[in-house]
Structure 1
């Protein structure tokens, strides 16, 4: 599984690549103008218990876990996207979101938010309500991602899953299962879907269609997965980004 997070302030892409069978995880930052890739130099034993929350102002924001059994996120660890070094950490807080004024984090005991200075992690505002925080994150996201499209995830059993699955059956003669990610960008439709593989595993496929439904691209993203994921692709400045076979970042122009 993997995760992609755009840092629109620095024209960078944060990447998390995980191998559930080997319990391995790696984190990278890609500078999009020069295609320069930086890998965080973290020990493999530690990486599995970290995850990518977001990327902002040339930082990769990772989380740890409080209760590993339920997947509770705890801790914020900010690494430089350029050097891979730890810039700051707040081990007792939980990441909430990015607002125009800084990083919002949850104080688990108080159930309120604090605002952190992005470059230092210093707390500069306290007692922010969850309602106020949600508004600030939503408002900033509209400006932050105005040139970016993240796909919508439709799970099996939902109305839109059935509609897109029917479209895929007609166009590609496949039988999607589990979940489908769907996005429209300009003159193209991008769909990531799963099919049943051997030994109760799944394969993840990505297809691009024009607005008439004609296939333009078909790619195997991954084979032999244990389940389904999300954030399998993003679209930024008319370019499609996705990870193939857990080890290759692929970029296609949608122009």
Structure 2
């Protein structure tokens, strides 16, 4: 499992699964209401050089690569979640984010040039251009509206005050010494914490713990071990369901207390 994105309008989850041994990439959509998984029938001959950017309004937005050695994203392809058909493609621009006005894109050959706003459904320019500051603000302002039913964790890095506070809590409740980073989310009934502990040879173990608001542990799950670094967005909560990836290839869903 390489990347996961939530379509906040349909409630579908978009998944990018990469197999480096055979250079294959597959894209899936998961219906979070029925929990049915659908593979999108994209041509495998070019899928390795595509990746998932985002999903919104029933469309997956994929990127290509300009400079493959540097991993530079270039090109935007819109794929329908329903059947994998291609809606539109803009080969010369790169995906930046999604705002209330539409999809924000930039020219990777001219990164200092104003960014363009494209219509989500058609990829056509809306005529709106944004400075880099305006683009960042537009995407950031739309995110709380877009994800109003979804909760992503906050990342606290080692040395930051909130990291130390949550680490002390984990130490008291679980007798563990968290290192590097902690991801934290709080609902009306639960505290969810993703944390790392040290293993042999400098490797890391990532675990997920679910507490009630009294600090009582309800569940603890190992997300991965033998890790060389930390991740981000190791879980998210959507409509009281906790979603996370275990061992890089298993999607788990837990129902949280309302």
TM-score range, shorter chain: 0.7 to 0.9
Take 1:249 and 1:178, find their aligned partners in 2: how far apart are those partners?
24
Bigger CA drift: 193-202 or 167-176?
193-202
CA–CA distance in structure 2, aligned partners of residues 28 and 216 of structure 1? 31
Residue 76 (1) aligns with residue 79 (2):
no
Alpha-carbon deviation of 1:174?
Answer: 1.7
The counterpart of 2:189, out of the listed 187, 190, 194, is 187
> Is the Cα–Cα contact under 8 Å of residues 3 and 231 in structure 1 kept in the other structure?
no
Residue in 2 aligned with 1:9?
A: 9
Secondary structure in 1 matching 2:230:
coil
1:163 corresponds to which residue? 165
Task: Choose which of 109, 120, 130 in structure 1 pairs with 2:122.
Answer: 120
In the alignment, which residue of structure 1 is the partner of 2:91? 91
Give the 3 Å change call, closer, same or farther, for CA 181–20 of structure 1 in structure 2.
farther
Relative to structure 1, is the Cα distance of residues 226 and 9 closer, same or farther in structure 2, using a 3 angstrom cutoff? same
1:103 is the counterpart of 2:110: no
Q: Distance in 1 between matches of 2:138 and 2:7?
A: 18
The aligned length equals 255
Give 1:49 deviation, angstroms: 4.6
**Contact 1:61 1:78 (8 Å CA) reproduced:** yes
The aligned residue for residue 132 of structure 1 is: 134
Deviation per CA, 1:174-195: give whole Å up to 9, x if none. 2222221111111111111122
1:83 offset after TM fit, Å?
1.9
Mapped partners of 1:45, 1:206: distance in 2? 37
What is the rounded CA distance, in whole Å, between the counterparts of 1:14 and 1:105 in structure 2? 20
If asked which structure has higher relative contact order (CA below 8 Å, sep 6+), I would say: 1
1:220 and 2:222 are equivalent in the alignment: yes
TM-score w.r.t. length of structure 1: 0.87
SS in 2 for 1:178: strand
Long gaps (5+) in structure 2:
none
Residue number in structure 2 paired with 1:253: 255
